[in-house]
């Protein structure tokens, strides 16, 4: 299977979940700021640890020479092709997501105000762009030819995120209509939608990479919609406690895979152990254990701490605004006021 195609699935799912979670919450600029603060609190703690653990074993840090090399972090890595994999290779996708997060508040605000037909049109056009650009195969290190040499990876994958946001809004709107009409069968069918799209996804993943690789994005979209809309054995399995916990630690697993592979490889080399199968088993077990610890001891507590800090800053900002307003009122009410 073409494992790199998990990248467009991740971008689609990200857009769908954000639209589902933030429906009706992107009304004012203050909402935008709170969204970005929440994303920062979600991304940065484990990201910073992954960079540290990627650098410590061999004391390997990106060179600081050259103007472009000074810029490294979520939001810029994949714009700087020479530095995109300098520390932790997989982090290039976070910089792609950072562009998505920047766009999301305006996109969500606009999408919520569109009709079902317009939402479907956005989804259809976005999928056409995905296939036309073959975006699913455009991952870090791909051979860029022609005009693609000048298009940063975040822009190439933007259509996948647009598709996910469109689907999330369309799903919520159809749910509301189905419930209002007491005809939820429109969305919650026998599972045919889910199982057919799952089979199509597997079939497309097993194909050799080629010009039409990104057709799998259509199958991914149908599968995400089916899992959200239909109650099936697959959706119930994904809702079990073990799978929910797996989803919780998946971010740490994704970021820590490269640092831990490096640590285990260095340790095995120093011990003179050549068994590749043992190395793989140790890496997998260590990855799960470390990711679980990071989720419980770092990621979740740090997210709550950062969001609490941002809430206090917001309260201070509001209090300062009230004081300024009171001073203006007092000034206008004084004998010398206007």
Instruction: Name the percent of the chain lying above pLDDT 70.
Output: 83
CB within 8 Å of 5: residues ≥ 6 apart: 136, 137, 205, 213, 216
DSSP conformation class of 61: -
Q: Would the pLDDT of 65 be above 50?
A: no
> What is the rounded CA–CA span in Å between residue 287 and residue 260?
7
Q: Would the pLDDT of 261 be above 70?
A: yes
Instruction: Name the percent of the chain lying above pLDDT 90.
Output: 33
Q: Categorize the per-residue pLDDT at 67 as very low, low, confident or very high, splitting at 50, 70 and 90.
A: very low
- Give pTM, 2 decimals: 0.85
Reduced 3-state DSSP string for 134-169: CHHHCCCCCCCCHHHHHCCHHHHCHHHHHHHHHHHH
Q: Categorize the per-residue pLDDT at 205 as very low, low, confident or very high, splitting at 50, 70 and 90.
A: confident
Query: pLDDT tens-digit profile of 231-244?
Result: 888 888 988 999 99
Compute the mean pLDDT over every residue in the chain, rounded to the nearest whole number.
82
Torsion of Cα atoms, 26 then 120 then 182 then 197, to 10° = -110
DSSP string, 163-204: HHHHHHHHHHHHHHHHHHTT-GGGTS-SSHHHHHHHHHHHHH
Query: pLDDT tens-digit profile of 34-45?
Result: 999 999 988 888
Q: Would the pLDDT of 69 be above 50?
A: no
Q: Categorize the per-residue pLDDT at 82 as very low, low, confident or very high, splitting at 50, 70 and 90.
A: low
Q: Categorize the per-residue pLDDT at 218 as very low, low, confident or very high, splitting at 50, 70 and 90.
A: very high
Token digits for 169? 């809004």
Q: Categorize the per-residue pLDDT at 14 as very low, low, confident or very high, splitting at 50, 70 and 90.
A: very high
- The pLDDT value recorded for residue 285 is 95
The more confidently predicted of residues 80 and 104 is 104
Give the position of tokens 């809702």.
239
- By CB atoms closer than 10 A (0-12, 13-18, 19+), residue 216 is buried
- The pLDDT value recorded for residue 68 is 40
The more confidently predicted of residues 76 and 65 is 76
Most confident range, picked from 59-63, 166-170, 274-278 = 166-170
Question: Phi-psi category of 146—alpha, beta or left, where left has phi over 0 and alpha has psi -120 to 50?
Answer: left
Query: Are the CB atoms for 38 and 307 separated by under 8 Å?
Result: yes
* Structural domain spans, the chain: 3-230, 240-338
Q: Would the pLDDT of 143 be above 90?
A: no
Torsion of Cα atoms, 175 then 246 then 292 then 98, to 10° = -50
- The pLDDT value recorded for residue 318 is 81
Question: Comparing 112-116, 139-143, 160-164, which segment has the lowest mean pLDDT?
Answer: 139-143
Q: Categorize the per-residue pLDDT at 100 as very low, low, confident or very high, splitting at 50, 70 and 90.
A: very high
CB within 8 Å of 39: residues ≥ 6 apart: 101
Q: Would the pLDDT of 81 be above 70?
A: no
Q: Would the pLDDT of 289 be above 50?
A: yes
Q: Would the pLDDT of 6 be above 60?
A: yes
Reduced 3-state DSSP string for 250-299: HHHHHHHHHHHHHHHHHHHHHHCCCCHHHHHHHHHHHHHHHHHHHHHHHH
Question: Comparing 50-54, 112-116, 153-157, 193-197, which segment has the lowest mean pLDDT?
Answer: 50-54
Residue among 103, 57, 58, 51 at smallest CA distance from 77: 51
- The pLDDT value recorded for residue 77 is 66
DSSP string, 89-149: GGGHHHHHHHHHHHHHHHHHHHHHTS-HHHHHHHHHHHHHHHHHHTGGG--TT----GGGG
> What is the rounded CA–CA span in Å between residue 124 and residue 128?
6
Residue 314 C-beta-side C-alpha neighbours within 13 Å: 15
- The pLDDT value recorded for residue 312 is 87
Give the position of tokens 């051979």.
143
Query: Are the CB atoms for 82 and 69 separated by under 8 Å?
Result: yes
């Amino acid at each position: 299977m073409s494992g790199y195609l998990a990248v467009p699935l991740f971008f689609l799912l990200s857009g769908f979940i954000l639209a589902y979670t933030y429906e009706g919450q992107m009304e004012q600029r203050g909402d935008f700021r709170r969204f970005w603060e929440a994303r920062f609190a979600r991304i940065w703690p484990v990201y910073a640890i992954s960079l540290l653990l990627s650098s410590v074993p061999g004391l390997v840090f990106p060179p600081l020479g050259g103007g472009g090399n000074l810029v490294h972090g979520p939001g810029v890595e994949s714009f700087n092709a020479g530095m995109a994999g300098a520390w932790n290779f997989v982090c290039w996708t976070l910089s792609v997501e950072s562009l998505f997060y920047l766009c999301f508040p305006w996109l969500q605000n606009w999408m919520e105000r569109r009709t079902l037909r317009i939402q479907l049109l956005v989804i259809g056009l976005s999928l056409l762009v995905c296939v036309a650009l073959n975006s699913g195969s455009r991952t870090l290190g791909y051979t860029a030819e022609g005009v693609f040499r000048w298009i940063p990876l975040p822009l190439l994958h933007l259509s996948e995120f647009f598709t996910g946001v469109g689907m999330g809004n369309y799903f919520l709107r159809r749910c509301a209509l189905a419930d209002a009409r007491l005809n939820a069968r429109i969305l919650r069918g026998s599972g045919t939608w889910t199982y057919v799209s799952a089979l199509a996804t597997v079939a497309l993943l097993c194909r050799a990479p080629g010009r039409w690789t990104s057709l799998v994005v259509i199958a991914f979209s149908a599968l995400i919609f089916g899992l959200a809309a239909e109650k099936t054995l697959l959706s119930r399995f994904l809702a079990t406690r073990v799978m929910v916990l797996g989803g919780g630690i998946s971010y740490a697993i994704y970021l820590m895979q490269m640092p831990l592979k490096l640590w285990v490889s260095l340790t095995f080399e120093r011990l003179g152990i050549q068994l590749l199968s043992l190395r793989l088993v140790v890496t997998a077990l260590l990855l799960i254990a470390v990711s679980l610890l990071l989720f419980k001891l770092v990621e979740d507590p740090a997210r709550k701490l950062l969001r609490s800090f941002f809430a206090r800053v917001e309260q201070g900002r509001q209090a300062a605004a009230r004081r300024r307003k009171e001073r203006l009122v007092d000034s206008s009410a004084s004998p010398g006021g206007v």
